[in-house]
Amino acid sequence: MRKSTSIAGSVLATALLLGACGNNDTTPKKDTTTESGTGTEESANNNTSSGTGDSTDTNNSAVSDSDQAYMKEQMDKLSYDEFELEVDYGKNQEYEIEIEQDNGKVEATVDDDLSNSNLNGREAFDEIYPKLEKLEITETTTKEQAIQQALDAFGLKDDYVKFDIKVSMPDGQKIEYEEKK
């Protein structure tokens, strides 16, 4: 009897230990699927329809440490610390993106009513960043130039009713352009 109690206790302790450790996998699923292009575990857990293989849950703003490091490294290459773009086309059709750095963490969101896309975290960052690289907005950029650059970079039409862009530079300078038609 004493032997079976000891074995049962060991099995229970092992099960609890494995159960507690089972959800602490911080390795991004994207790393496991990039080489093969698919992953059964990733496909089953991915709540997006983008097919990018990205492990970021679009309903959860939590981003892994490796994704944070990547996004921070990429942001350091830009001449912007933060970027926000809101384009309103009327009739509840808006395109809104934002990348900001808050307490050393990069946060990114895409709310695109035009293509019915809502992204957060690394997935949003990967959508926005290549387009931001095309922009060259500085303190000498005119409002018309900034608007045209943003429309071109993000593939947006110019039939908007309201356009708002906010840029924060590494030196703390903030640039904002707003136009209503």
Count of structural domains, the chain: 1
Query: What range does the domain containing 113 cover?
Result: 59-180
**In-domain check, residue 27:** no
Average pLDDT over residues 54-75: 72
Q: What's the angle, vertex CA 71, arms to CA 67 and CA 72, rounded to 5?
A: 115
Average pLDDT over residues 126-137: 95
% of the chain beyond a pLDDT of 70: 66
Q: Is the pTM here over 0.75, yes or no?
A: no
pLDDT digits (tens, 9 = 90+) for 8-49: 444 444 443 344 444 444 433 333 333 333 333 333 333 333
**In-domain check, residue 39:** no
Q: Is residue 134 over pLDDT 90?
A: yes
**In-domain check, residue 35:** no
Q: Could you tell me the pLDDT band of residue 56, with boundaries at 50, 70 and 90? A: very low
**In-domain check, residue 156:** yes
Instruction: Please tell me the predicted confidence (pLDDT) of residue 46.
Output: 38
Average pLDDT over residues 160-173: 94
Instruction: Please tell me the predicted confidence (pLDDT) of residue 62.
Output: 67
Structure tokens at 101: 């750095």
CA distance 2 to 173: 73
Instruction: Please tell me the predicted confidence (pLDDT) of residue 70.
Output: 95
**In-domain check, residue 52:** no
**In-domain check, residue 47:** no
Q: Is residue 92 over pLDDT 70?
A: yes
**In-domain check, residue 64:** yes
**In-domain check, residue 75:** yes
CA distance 171 to 81: 9
CA distance 120 to 110: 6
